[in-house]
Structure 1
């Protein structure tokens, strides 16, 4: 009963109450691009042609006076020009023409037409009904169809139209409405799916950033915990190593010991919240560039042909830079293994005066290499890593460095990062200039 009442209300909505502007929930008209302008041109030409054809039919076939025919054509066919933007407005004007035309036909000389409306006007009405069905809620377009049917039967009978012709016109009207409803419904579902996909991509990107930051925090905790532990041990052992320590100095050492232990406890508490229950791999000691050779060997086991070069004199790095450099190379090799299996990869670590330069470039793999490498990767251990380019960017930004990634002219891909080791700001090389930058 509630559903029937909604369709009864739809009659009033279609006739008067429903807004003439299409609702946003039924996006049936292309928003931009050449298709939009092509459809606009089509509707303008169609409205002009249908209006001219309607005038000709009214005068020649239906014997309507020449002074009256243009005014009827303005109501019967010309509103189709606004149907793409205001379908209900066009339909309401055209219904007025549907009501007036049989009266003009009856008052004029008798014609031999089967129904009292021009064919061009019927085509214009059908196109408008398609737009109404595509842009309006179902109760509204059902109401529009019922009102159109009532006008056709009631005023067609005044002009002597047989009932079987009314059934044909009614079937055509509802066929147009159903086609429009199916088209508008499909576009509506597609728009919602596109919106959900966009939101999903945003959520995944946000989640990747948060997870990578959590992982960075855990690794920094391992580094900071080591140094804080050493501070606490040295502060506690200093009074025992140095004889006759003044009481004031002993109190200072004790205060340093307490502060270091409290900071260590708080750091472990905060970072412990970032750890999952089964996150056993993250509890391993933080790696560094001293394990670069092991990382390269693991990459080779996945089917990559890897060559590593170290340019410059290796020197001790801070723990944060050392861990981040290892993770960046690991992420870049994981990406190469995933997206260019079987390719040749070059890893370059260059020690500069104020920065550590990293470059991982890979060639484009052909289809046969990709198939063989994928089958090999399926049976072998993964390189690990975090969240690809998102993780690399987070680590470089954390240290005040920069990264760049992009395709190479030969079809390969390059990932570069510059991690400052001093106080001088640095800039990253463009992806296409890795080879020249690597020197």
Structure 2
């Protein structure tokens, strides 16, 4: 037992070493056999649409179908006529072989592999029936042309291993039998095999290009989706940082008022003092948590905002900035301006600011109309321009302004519509629910109309 264990291990290791040594040509033969099986039976015929069948149902499909029907009919008639008149075959046998060699071209538009399987058998039958009458060239011209087209379609539609099997079987059943059966020179068969390989390589190259283009398009779409998600996250982070000042202001006011109440009101009951102390502690804790969360949203080198958040009271500044950038901006306020919630006021300001920025970027020199309409329970902000006479190409890195607008409107539960207008320009219309709530620290009277 003790002596047998090492011997067993040695024999196992020797067997593995022998198995790792490949007999010359065996692996190549196995791969060729697998390729032949793939071409003959294993490859699904519906794996990919055949070339040049259009991917989408359009008029091009009808055109391709008509062209293919005419081509298949012409090549079939040529093959049948050559077999009957030139090779002296009977009408029935010549028709059957000619149809098998060329008419499956109709199937090749959608099922190239099925068409090839039928045609290669027809070519083999044609060689067997034609070599007594034409021992040097036993292939009808129409059938040869149809086979070339189908070989190209197969190579441009199926995996490479199946294409290799198709090439091997075509050579074995169509080309090589002409040497022992007839008087076809071997050099001519070699030339034909080289031409067959050239057709398959060309089709495979086209398939590779189509595959690469599809992958690039997929990667571009994934990148576009990633950029859109990144823009949404960045805009949400920006909104959170902006609203932090608003929340911090309110929470600070609550804490200060709760702390000052016992000093302003004498002889407060102990229960009231305890309640105010609880309010003060909760406000300070909420303020600390808010600052901590917003701190996570900031970059390492980004400092907190120290400037008060803007609102529609600064609409004149936006209009003037738009005019400086080359736009002809007109603004109007409809309805009675009133204090708004700080979030609504800030979002309205940012929407107008971003819309004017987009107009300056994509429609320089355009006439822009800014309209702020105060409704009973909503605020409508619209920015429309008449477009640019010379179309501009969108600049790289842009295209996310609408993302920010939509995020702000969605945060407030409003609606946003943005798109081309009837006069060829662009319109941005946002409806923000305001409910008539007053904002703390409204900077002044309403913006006058223009």
TM range (shorter): 0.7 to 0.9
- The answer to whether residue 413 in structure 2 is matched with residue 389 in structure 1 is no
- The answer to whether residue 177 in structure 2 is matched with residue 177 in structure 1 is no
User: Per the alignment, in what secondary structure is the counterpart of residue 289 of structure 2?
Assistant: helix
- The answer to whether residue 169 in structure 2 is matched with residue 156 in structure 1 is no
Quote the residue 1:64 is aligned against: 89
Structure 1 range deviating more: 253-262 or 162-171: 162-171
Instruction: Pick closer, same or farther for the CA change 1:148–1:340 going to 2, 3 Å.
Output: same
Which of 84, 94, 97 is the equivalent residue of 2:109? 84
Q: Cα offset for 1:114? A: 4.2
Q: Cα offset for 1:15? A: 4.0
- The answer to whether residue 167 in structure 2 is matched with residue 167 in structure 1 is no
Which of 123, 145, 155 is the equivalent residue of 2:167? 145
Give CA-to-partner distance per residue, 1:327-357, whole Å, 9 cap, x none.
Answer: 1101101110111112121212222222222
State the distance in 2 between where 1:186 and 1:227 align.
Answer: 61
Quote the residue 1:98 is aligned against: 123
Q: Cα offset for 1:247? A: 0.6
Give CA-to-partner distance per residue, 1:120-169, whole Å, 9 cap, x none.
Answer: 10011001100111012223212322332233442112132233432342
Unaligned runs of 5+ in 2: 1-24, 438-448
8 Å CA contact retained: 2:242, 2:309: yes
Instruction: Pick closer, same or farther for the CA change 1:333–1:5 going to 2, 3 Å.
Output: farther
User: Per the alignment, in what secondary structure is the counterpart of residue 334 of structure 1?
Assistant: helix
State the distance in 1 between where 2:266 and 2:77 align.
Answer: 113
TM (norm. structure 1) is 0.85
8 Å CA contact retained: 2:377, 2:434: yes
Quote the residue 1:129 is aligned against: 151
Q: Cα offset for 1:77? A: 1.4
Unaligned runs of 5+ in 1: 378-384, 425-437
Instruction: Pick closer, same or farther for the CA change 1:119–1:281 going to 2, 3 Å.
Output: farther
Structure 1 range deviating more: 15-24 or 250-259: 15-24
Which of 348, 351, 357 is the equivalent residue of 2:374? 351
- The answer to whether residue 310 in structure 2 is matched with residue 287 in structure 1 is yes
1:25-424 correspondence to structure 2 within 5 Å: 29-32=53-56, 33-106=58-131, 110-111=133-134, 114-157=136-179, 158-280=181-303, 284-367=307-390, 387-422=400-435
Structure 1 range deviating more: 180-189 or 328-337: 180-189
Give CA-to-partner distance per residue, 1:277-315, whole Å, 9 cap, x none.
Answer: 233475643211122222222222322222222233322
Structure 1 range deviating more: 77-86 or 3-12: 3-12
8 Å CA contact retained: 2:50, 2:111: no
Instruction: Pick closer, same or farther for the CA change 1:5–1:339 going to 2, 3 Å.
Output: farther
Quote the residue 2:4 is aligned against: none
8 Å CA contact retained: 1:77, 1:121: yes
Instruction: Pick closer, same or farther for the CA change 1:283–1:67 going to 2, 3 Å.
Output: farther
State the distance in 1 between where 2:328 and 2:433 align.
Answer: 29
8 Å CA contact retained: 1:27, 1:188: no
TM (norm. structure 2) is 0.83
Q: Cα offset for 1:10? A: 5.1
Instruction: Pick closer, same or farther for the CA change 1:5–1:288 going to 2, 3 Å.
Output: farther
User: Per the alignment, in what secondary structure is the counterpart of residue 245 of structure 1?
Assistant: coil
Q: Cα offset for 1:195? A: 1.7
8 Å CA contact retained: 2:376, 2:436: no
8 Å CA contact retained: 2:49, 2:55: no
Quote the residue 2:440 is aligned against: none
Quote the residue 2:42 is aligned against: 18
Instruction: Pick closer, same or farther for the CA change 1:386–1:38 going to 2, 3 Å.
Output: closer
User: Per the alignment, in what secondary structure is the counterpart of residue 89 of structure 1?
Assistant: helix
